[in-house]
Amino acid sequence: MTFSCIRKLAFSGLIVVVQSSCVVPDDTSRIAKIDPTAAAARKEMVGLSEADVRMCAGFPTATADAGGSGQIWTYKRVVQRGNLSIVVPT
């Protein structure tokens, strides 16, 4: 192989390593422990009225009907990880 070919392969490998090091899994529960505030809220919010929950957590992103037991509210939390965004054309 020529020097330029080896250099291209090394550069390609470096790009792959750098990009893969930026990946953070969606579920970090095995890495980071649950926040004590969130754990306390899960216990203390049981039994609150609909108005109290909305006052505390805001309006849900999505709702689903759970039949006779009420509704399931879903809240989407957007977390930005890092300052670099790379868009790959599709």
Q: Residue-wise pLDDT tens for the chain (90 aa)? A: 687 888 888 888 888 777 776 666 666 667 677 788 878 878 888 888 889 888 888 889 999 998 888 888 888 877 766 667 777 887
Q: Within a domain: residue 89?
A: no
Q: Within a domain: residue 68?
A: yes
- Bridge partners of residue 2, in order along the sequence: none
Q: Within a domain: residue 15?
A: no
Structure tokens at 70: 């009420």
Structural domains counted in the chain: 1
What is the model's pLDDT at position 29? 66
What is the model's pLDDT at position 62? 92
Q: Backbone dihedral region of 5: left (phi > 0), alpha (psi from -120 to 50 degrees) or beta?
A: alpha
What is the model's pLDDT at position 64? 92
Enclosing H/E stretch for 17: helix 3-21
Q: Within a domain: residue 82?
A: no
Q: Within a domain: residue 62?
A: yes
Task: Please give the residue range of the domain that contains residue 68.
Answer: 33-77
